[in-house]
Structure formats: C-alpha cells, structure tokens
Structure 1
Amino acid sequence: MNNTAVNFTTPEASTDSITQSIGLLNSLEMCACSICFLFGLPTHSYVVWLIVTGTGSGVVSEFLNLNLSVCEIGNSISAVFVLLSYFSSLFKILTNFVQGLGVTGRPLFQCLMCVERYLAVVHPVTFLKFKPLRYRVICCSVAWIITLSSCLFCYFTLVSLNTKAYVWFFTTELLLFLSIQLFCLVAVLRALKQSGPGERKRERENENHMKKRAFYLILITTVNMIIQNVPFTITGFSIILTEQDLLDVWFPALLFYVLTGFVQPVLYLQRTGKLFCLCSS
C-alpha cells in the first residue's frame, strides 16, 4: 500500500498524470516512493542477511520477521514500478498486481508476529508446542497464498475499474488485522498483572521482565500499525461516502504508510545491536 496512491486514483486520472505535467502532489508522491526504495530496500535486505546468516536469535525464532522483510523488499521494488508508471502505462499492470503486498502482506505478517508474542506470554505451553520451524513454515506459506490471492484481487478490481470494491476490501481487512493486534495487546497486559503461585521472587522478576519486553514489542508494533492503517481506513470510508477518489485525499495516508515501514527493521537492528553499525556504514 505504499505506492498505492497512483492506483487509488481513478484510472482516467492516472492516465492524465502521464500526459500532463506532474503537479505538486505527484512530485511529493514520487519523493515518498523514492524514499521507500532508496532506504527500504537496503534496510530490509540487511535484516534478511542478518537473519539468514544466524545473527540474533536465529532463523527459526525470526522466521516471521524474515518473511515480513521479504515482503517489504517487494514493497520497495514496487515503488520503482509506481515511479515508472508516471512515464509508461505498461508499468500500470505491475503496480496493480503488487498492491496485495502492501494491502495484505505487511499487515498480515505483522499480525502473525503479534499473535506469536501473545502465545509466548499468555499460552507458553501452546507456544512451545508449535515452536518448531515446520509450524512457522506452514503459517507463512498460508500467509503468502493469501497475499498472492490479494494481489490477484487487487489487479482484477483495479483493471475492471471497480475501485469501490477495492476500497471496501482493504478497509475491512485492515480493521480485522488491527482488531487482532489490539486483542493480543490487551491479553498480554492482563497477563503482566498475574504471577504464578508458589514462584520465587527472582523467578517472578525474570518472568515479568520477559513479559514486559514482549508487551512493549507488541505495544510498539500496534501503535505503528495504528499510525500505518488508521489513516488509510479513514480515507477509505471517506472515499466510499463521498465517492471522490483523488490523489490529495490519499497522499497523507501514503506518507504514514511509507514511514511506518521502517519501524520493524529498526526494532530488529536495535535488538541485535546492529543499528549503529548500519548507521555508521
């Protein structure tokens, strides 16, 4: 959904943007897409390299984060397609298809990471049962199938000029993902207030420290997802009610979406102690 402002506008408006002079909002959108590509691609590629090479907790425990970064690399590359679509209508086909990576891919993998932390804190026995890599592979495989299906849906709805169905689809989807994350946050908060009977003080302190760490990770991810998705949701409902599909309506939401894409890799780099290494390099 980074890069989607071009597709959120009506196809006639998108075609006109190719033949007419690029206005201020178009220039700002091109800047946002450039930031997404120039900073997003190396950052997420670095995260993928760190996970694959075994830095941090290893591939198994970071498997969801790995898939999220791969999805974000796809989002960064799709920004190039959006930029090229200003000068050639041939790239409109690619930009229509890759919408699913932003509409479904990023929030879905973020949601899976939140559910994983929820299980680790609230249902640790269940978490240990499904901790092996094969269960994560199954979940991510299903997530990628859903994401690719979303890509196909976005492509056909945008090609058929059914913008209203497209807006309803991603708005409902974002509300669903956000509701799941809020549920996980509240459940973890309640778990923090409880301690097992007969536990020693030092054991309780260690357990509470781990729970608080998981809670803050879920909290940051949830706040990030609220900033990322709520503007798009509000804009989507406003488009449905007013039936006005203009670039100036979508641009603020697009800007929030691009900027929030850097939160998750920064958290990982900070956790592995590689953040300053990236900045120095």
Structure 2
Amino acid sequence: MEVIHINSSVIYISHRPDNSTVGQMTEYEQCKDMPALLIWYLCLQVINMFLGIPANLIVLWLIHKNKGESSSSDIFIFQLAILDVLFCLILPLELANKAFHTTSNTWYILRFFYGLKDSSPLFLSCICLDRYLAVVHPIFFTKLNGRHHRAVLTIVVWIIILAYAAAKCVGNIPNFDKVFTAMILGAFAFMVFCNIAILWALWQSGPGRDEMHPVKKRACKMVLIILAIIVFNYFPPVALFPFQEYFSPDVFRCYIHYVAFGLMDFSSTVQPMLYLSKEKMPQSLNCCHSCTTHAQ
C-alpha cells in the first residue's frame, strides 16, 4: 500500500489544506493520536456559530437603526460584522469535512470562507486607522468628515478580500501561504502602532502628569481593551508561523495550527461582543467620537 507524505509547510500556514491534501483521511483521523486541540478548535467554532452570529446580527441592526447618528468607523464595523456572520455559518460543513468525510468539493467552499476570515483584519485595520486620525490628527480628521472616501476605501478592501478568497479557493497557487503571512504580519503591526499612538496621545493630553480627564480615562481604558483583543486574537499566528520549521509536522498540524487559527477565528465572537459593550461603556469599540470631542 502506498504511503502519501504530506508537506505541512504547504498545507497549514495558509489556514487550511490545499487540493493536494484532500484524501481518504479526515483531519480528525490524521490527528487521532493528539486530537485535543482539534476538538478545542471545533468548540470555539460552535461558540462562533451560536453566539457570534446573533451578536454580529445585533451589531448590524444597531448600526442600521442608528445610521443617522453613526460614528465615522461604523461603515467598517458594519462590513466586518458581515464577514463574521458569513464565516460563522460554515460550522456544519466544517464539522462534517473534518470529522466525518473529506471531499475536494467541500474544501473549495471552505477555503473561500477561510479566505474571507483570513483577510478580515483589513477592515479592523481601517477601524484603527480611523481612530488614529481622529485622536492623533484631529484637524486632518475634521477635513475628512464626509463619507465618500470611507465608501471608496470599503470598496477597495472588499475587492482585495474577494480576490484573496477566490485565489485561496483555487488552492494550488505556489507560495500563496506567503501572502497570508505578509498580510497578517502587516495588519497586526499596523493595528498595534495605531492603538499605541492613540494611548500615547490620550495620555499626553491629560491636564497633569498624574491626572487625566475622566472621559479620556475611559477612552484610554477602552483602547487598552481593544489592544489586548488584537494581541490575543492575532498575535498567535504572527508569533508561531515564522518558527514553523522548529516544530515537527505532526505537532504543527495538530497543535500549533489549531491554536493559532482557533484564537484568530474566535475574534468573530469577541469583536461584536466588544462593540455591544457600549451599552455599558458608550462608544466602546469606536472611540473616535468621544476622543475627537474631548481631545481637542
């Protein structure tokens, strides 16, 4: 009987396997000796479906309902919620494909939706950029009070996302994993820079070295929470994938892969819940409005 060896460096660094990996064995069977992290990953996907979908739908409803009073970043938050709803819907197909029966047709569909999720940090980067301009460059931000440029940026980002997802769906493009690595590294570095710059600007704008306006203090606290979420959800793939060669193929396939993407995919629930927390903490996710009002 012929034994097929799988190159894990091609398979897993770009979220999910390519066409060459599809065979008779499911991913659960491949990791049957170390299934803990795969089960943990699927549990997170269950939470995404049953908590993430309602949370994102509520975000979409609230933004649509309050569109007359919406903040500058709501257009990006709206698009991000749409992406997360689409991604959270794939659990039944993903569960069947990973645990019961693997087919090439289902991988085409799954890879497309994985591509949508892979590139969702682009919209999160747009939110961070909008906040950064509002706090650090308020004069320039006031000149961009129209929504035309945000709509254009949204269209451009959607074109990039759909092109990436379509290319990932094909599954056999050489070195395509490097596109994901570059994108996640760039988005992560950009988001961290924007949030640290916002924190620094808010801290410097306090009336005294050891004193800060209560509104600015709340904004600073919220930015810290957002920064923590960015690090929690997006730091694992950034930190682990460059060191893939130091792990054995089985460990990377059955452990590292599911740790990194499990936490990253769980952002589909964390992000809308953070936005909805503004019921208790006004303007929580998008602190542009309060920061712009009180930082000038």
Name the TM-score, length of structure 1 as normaliser. 0.78
Higher helix proportion, which one?
1
Equivalent of 2:166, from 149, 152, 160? 152
Distance (Å, rounded) in 2 between the aligned partners of 1:7 and 1:49: 30
1:39 pairs with one of 39, 48, 51:
51
Residues 57-206 of structure 1: pairs in structure 2 closer than 5 A: 57-58=69-70, 61-86=73-98, 87=101, 89=103, 90-105=105-120, 107-156=121-170, 159-160=171-172, 162=174, 165-195=175-205
Q: How far apart are 1:190 and its partner, in Å?
A: 3.1
Corresponding letter in the other structure for 2:108: I
CA distance in 1, matches of 2:184, 2:102: 31
Give the drift of 1:209: 4.8
- Whether contact under 8 Å (1:117, 1:214) holds in the other structure is no
Residues 204-254 of structure 1, C-alpha deviations (whole Å, 9 max, x = no match): x99x55544444333322221221122112332233565835132211123
| Aligned ranges 1:242-281 → 2 under 5 Å | 244=249, 246-273=253-280
Please, which moves more after superposition, 96-105 or 259-268? 259-268
Distance in 1 (CA, whole Å) between partners of 2:43 and 2:184 is 25
SS at match of 1:99: helix
What letter corresponds to residue 37 of structure 1 in structure 2? Answer: M
Aligned to 1:51: 63
8 A contact 2:14–2:176 mirrored in 1: no
Structure 1 residue aligned with 2:26: 17
Q: Which residue of 2 aligns with 1:232?
A: 237
Q: Larger RCO: Structure 1 or Structure 2 (Cα < 8 Å, ≥ 6 residues apart)?
A: 2
How far the C-alpha of 1:58 sits from its partner, in A, is 2.6
CA–CA separation in structure 2 for the residues paired with 1:96 and 1:88: 13
Quote the offset at 1:68 in angstroms. Answer: 1.1
> Contact (CA 8 Å) 1:9, 1:247: kept in 2 or not?
no
C-alpha distance in structure 2 between counterparts of 1:102 and 1:173, whole Å: 12
Shift of 1:93: 0.7
Q: Using the alignment, how far apart are the partners of 2:214 and 2:133 within structure 1?
A: 16
For residues 37-91 of structure 1, give each alpha carbon's deviation from its aligned partner in whole angstroms, at most 9, with x where no partner exists.
1221111111111111118943765221111111111111233332232335121
- TM-score normalized by structure 2? 0.74
Percentage identity across paired residues of the two chains: 24
Matched residue SS, 1:246: helix
What amino acid is the match of 1:184?
C
Tell me the number of residue pairs that the alignment of Structure 1 and Structure 2 aligns.
259
C-alpha RMSD of matched pairs (Å): 3.3
Q: Which runs of 5+ in 2 are unaligned?
A: 1-11, 283-296
| Amino acid across the alignment from 1:250 | H
Q: In structure 2, what residue type is equivalent to 1:44?
A: N
5+ residue gaps, structure 1, are: 276-281
